[in-house]
Amino acid sequence: MSVIVIAVILTALMFDFTNGFHDTANAMATSIATGALKPKVAVILAGILNLVGAFLSVEVAKTISSGLVDEARITPVVIFGGLVGAILWNLLTWLLGMPSSSSHALFGGLIGATWVAAGSSAIKFAGVVSKVLLPLVLSPIVAGIVALAATYLAYRIATRGEEGTITRGFRLSQIVSASMVALAHGTNDAQKTMGVITLTLITVGALPPDAGPPLWVIASCGVAIALGTSLGGWRIIQTLGKRISEIQSPQGFAAETSSAAVILTSAHLGFALSTTQVCTGSIFGAGAGRRLAGVQWGVAGRMAIAWLLTLPAAAVVGALAAWVAGTGTAGTLVVAVVAIALASGIYMASRRKPVTADNVNDVPAAQPVPVSA
Partner 1 sequence: MSIAWGSLLVVFIVSFGAAVGVVVLVTCALVALSARARATTVPAGSAGGSGGGLSASAGTAVAGVCLAAAAAIVLFGLYIIVA
User: Which residues here bind partner 1, judged by CB under 8 A?
Assistant: 56-57, 125-126, 129-130, 134-135, 138, 142-143, 145-147, 149-151, 153-154, 157-158, 160-162, 164-166, 169-170, 173, 176, 180, 187, 250, 253-254, 257-258, 260-262, 264-269, 271
Output the smallest distance, CB 65 to partner 1, in A. 19
Output the smallest distance, CB 56 to partner 1, in A. 5
CB closer to partner 1, 238 vs 277: 277
CB closer to partner 1, 196 vs 267: 267
CB closer to partner 1, 154 vs 240: 154
Alpha-helical runs (H) found in 269-325:
275-290, 297-325
CB closer to partner 1, 6 vs 153: 153
CB closer to partner 1, 169 vs 331: 169
CB closer to partner 1, 85 vs 285: 285
How many Å apart are CA 371 and CA 373, to the nearest integer? 6
Output the smallest distance, CB 66 to partner 1, in A. 16
Output the smallest distance, CB 320 to partner 1, in A. 29
Bridge partners of 123, per DSSP, are 69
Output the smallest distance, CB 204 to partner 1, in A. 30
Output the smallest distance, CB 19 to partner 1, in A. 20
| Cβ neighbours of 48 (radius 10 Å) | 17
Evaluate whether 353 touches 96 at the Cβ level (below 8 Å): no
Evaluate whether 15 touches 86 at the Cβ level (below 8 Å): yes
Q: 258-294 burial by CB neighbour count: b if 16+ within 10 A, else e?
A: bbbbbbbebbeebbbbbbbbbbbbbbbbbbbbbbeeb
